Amino acid sequence: MSDEKDRLGDTLHQSEMARENQWARQHDAEIIERLRLKYAKAIKCPQCGDRLEARMAIGVGEMVCPKHHGAWADREALDQLGARLENAGAIHHDSLGEKVFVGIGEIVEDMRHRHLTEIDCPDCGARLGARAAIKEGELGLAAMACPNRHGSWIDQDMLREIRKRLDAATGTHGDGETRK
């Protein structure tokens, strides 16, 4: 009888997980479609010139370089990412950005030197400027941001750092596997 209960419980758990996974896939597909419609005009990678593709990256919808140079995150994606980083900072106080704080001026200057070519906002055409994040969980991160707050270009180094912080908070590796 006990074995039968365990199997029923396992079956119910697997069914619930399948429904959650299906909902997540549908939700991700809706976000990607919204991005495709919003950015029907091609957005080019500032580093290689390839057309950015709508994808889920770091758990939020972004326009991503197919050669992994970085991603354009609109205001909504940045807000979602900020909330995730803040939660990660609260969960895992030992995140790299919270341990070592480099001066904001140095972070901004480093970002400027990484992006020598001018980058324009795909929404309004304004020139992007280097900005450092200052919220909890985001210290040490920077991006090229639209002065009109439409979004930011996040290069591959910053994407890697964000992924590392989120993974550290959840106890997983970049591939989603739990650390032992």
- 177 falls in which pLDDT band (50, 70, 90)? very low
Instruction: Compute CA 91 distance to the chain's CA centroid, rounded to the nearest angstrom.
Output: 18
pTM of the model: 0.66
Structural domain includes residue 154: yes
Structural domain includes residue 141: yes
Structural domain includes residue 123: yes
Structural domain includes residue 44: no
CA distances from residue 135 to 98, 100, 123, 141 in whole angstroms, order as listed: 11, 15, 25, 10
**Residue 13 burial class via C-beta count within 10 angstroms: exposed 0-12, middle 13-18, buried 19 and up:** exposed
Provide the pLDDT for residue 146. 92
The bridge status of strand 60-64 relative to strand 53-57 is: antiparallel
Give per-residue pLDDT as tens, 53-83.
888 777 777 888 999 999 888 888 888 888 8
Give per-residue pLDDT as tens, 117-158.
788 888 888 999 888 876 777 777 888 899 999 999 998 888
Provide the domain count of the chain. 1
Domain of residue 104, residue span: 69-170
Percent of the chain with pLDDT over 90: 6
Structural domain includes residue 53: no
Structural domain includes residue 55: no
Among candidate residues 67, 96, 76, the one with its CA nearest the CA of residue 34: 76
Tokens for 142? 């920077």
Give per-residue pLDDT as tens, 27-42.
667 766 776 666 667 7
